[in-house]
Amino acid sequence: MIKMPAIGTLVHSLAGRDTGEYYLVVGYAEKNFVLLANGLNRTLKKPKKKNPRHLRVHQSGSVELADKICRQTIRDEEVVQAIREMVGKVNPGGEREGNSPDV
């Protein structure tokens, strides 16, 4: 059984057309699917449905972020900003700091 990531968790896709894209978990669908949004091409009004097996979980968002998502008071711009802040913590620095490029 796959453990479902919590709402507000930063994930990135491992399979499909969106491989390598970062998303926030914004809900659950059906039995074993999560709803993902990145605020750009996948908005909160039209989230992506994805199997959690095809995701890598990075870190949980703040309690305030998860609460705003659950109450549906968050905007797409806030989702974009939250992803940018969390991705910066996941992979700080660039190639000069020894990290491989995301190509």
Task: State whether CATH 3.30.110 applies to domain 10-91.
Answer: no
User: Domain residue spans in the chain?
Assistant: 10-91
pLDDT range class, residue 89, cuts 50, 70, 90? low
The per-residue pLDDT for 2 is 73
pTM for the structure as a whole = 0.79
pLDDT digits (tens, 9 = 90+) for 15-68: 888 888 999 999 999 888 999 999 889 999 999 999 999 999 988 878 888 889
Render the burial of 36-51: b for 16+ CB within 10 Å, e for the rest: bbbbeebebeebbebe
Query: 3-state class of 23 per DSSP?
Result: strand
9 C-beta neighbours (distance < 10 Å), count? 22
d(CA 11, CA 96) in angstroms, rounded, equals 25
Q: For position 1, what pLDDT does the model report?
A: 62
